[in-house]
Amino acid sequence: MNLAGKKILLGVSGGIAAYKSCELLRLLQKKGAEVRVCMTESATQFVAPLTFASLSKCPVYLKSGAVEARPFQHIDFPRWADLYLVVPATANAIGKFACGIADDPVSLCFMSCNCPRFIAPAMNVAMYNSPAVKRNLEALRGFENTTVLESPAGELACGEVGQGRLLEPAEIVKWLEANSVILSVAHCAESKDLPAVPKAPEPPAFPVAQDIEPTLDKTLPGYGKKVLITAGRTEEAIDPVRYISNRSSGKTAVAIAATFLASGFDVSVVAGPMEAEFPGGVHVTRVKSACDMHAAVLAQAKDADVLVHCAAVADYRPKAPANEKIKDSRSQLVLELVPNPNILRDCTAARLEGRAKPSQVIVGFALETDHFKEHAAEKLQKSGADALLLNAPVASGSGFGFDDVRYALVRPGADIPEMKLGSKVDLAQEIVDFAKGKLDGRI
């Protein structure tokens, strides 16, 4: 069955396999499908909703609400869909479906859904073989218009081997394309004249799934190109338990990484400490200090087509960190600080000196709290970057830890635009569009 033009609702419940749903979303998009996402609250502990919002270009339906939340999302989302995939489906989610419990977005959509529904279980082998899960799966196989994609045996996240492994995203897409009988039934919730959707036949047995690399789509603009992104914050040690840092959550970098990934780029990240999580398919190098980040970036930057310096790097570090915890004597403590290396300037110097690709596109960040345009223009000129993303955390409900931010993309030789309030997904798309335009000569 051709998935092009299909509207697919992807339900994500809270298991370690949730990261594979990011890959599934991208594979469905490559087939021409339009995808929206709903998540349980526990699923957000494994993959940040911002990741799915970035990839799907649509707000995620969450129990806590979304930017464009409406009071009837539990009806509107499944009514919009041609088919509903729950990947992964945990034992908890399966139990809710079987027993008619609807207290989160994924189970609410299952309850109100009239289109074909597909459930891909994922859990530990002991849970999968428990009487309760077996009973619930058997009940779901008897539900009208519902198909259980059988879980193959294999190595599980816990290290055990057995049934309960999530069917690989590429295998799920392959199965959907092969089973045209299920997907060929028209879905229209507004019409009462259409015949009922027939009960889905049992799926064929699947072989043991191996780790499958995502199919590289040569039609995407980023195919064959590499982007390196710095993310999060840095921590500069004062002693073994104290450090100098800042409030960066890493959400902006996650949005940028996800948007480059959706455009077909090979995405690598050098990340300091942060709360947000990257989608599957992103290569992440973890660091803590500014010096560590400097070394990691310079080692990887030479092969990158695009560099995005998004991390909030400490400008200074203690000159002589203590080897033992500094005792609290309530007396005045004086710290001598020394400047950290400037990662952005050293990368532009490497490009200028031929130690990196001459066509490399470099985008820096400037977070300012006052005299925005003056400070941004000065930093852009000193850095030698191709563009600077000016942002400010001063608007209510935006900046650190929020999904919205005030920003403007500043370019050499052009007037600095007024900052606008938008989502970090919008900010990411503007950076990706600029990078693609520079690489293909349109900018």
Q: Which residues are catalytic?
A: 158
* 4 in Cβ contact with 32 (< 8 Å): yes
Q: Which three-class secondary structure string do you get for the chain?
A: CCCCCCEEEEEECCCHHHHHHHHHHHHHHHCCCEEEEEECCHHHHCCCHHHHHHHHCCCCECCCCCCCCCCCHHHHHHHHCCEEEEEEECHHHHHHHHHCCCCCHHHHHHHHCCCCEEEEECCCHHHHCCHHHHHHHHHHHCCCCEEECCCCEEECCCCCEEECCCCCHHHHHHHHHHCHHHHCCCCCCCCCCCCCCCCCCCCCCCCCCCCCCCCCCCCCCCCCCEEEEEECECCEECCCCCEECCCCCCHHHHHHHHHHHHCCCEEEEEECCCCCCCCCCCEEEECCCHHHHHHHHHHHHCCCCEEEECCECCCEEECCCCCCCCCCCCCCCCCCEEECCCHHHHHHHHHHCCCCCCCCEEEEEEECCCCHHHHHHHHHHHHCCCEEEEEECCCCCCCCCCCEEEEEEECCCCCCCCCEEEEHHHHHHHHHHHHHHHHCCCC
Q: Determine the Cα–Cα distance for residues 127 and 98; give it in Å rounded to an integer.
A: 16
Pair of tokens at residue 370: 């006052």
Closest CA to 97 of 131, 64, 146, 62: 146
Map tokens 């293909």 to a residue.
440
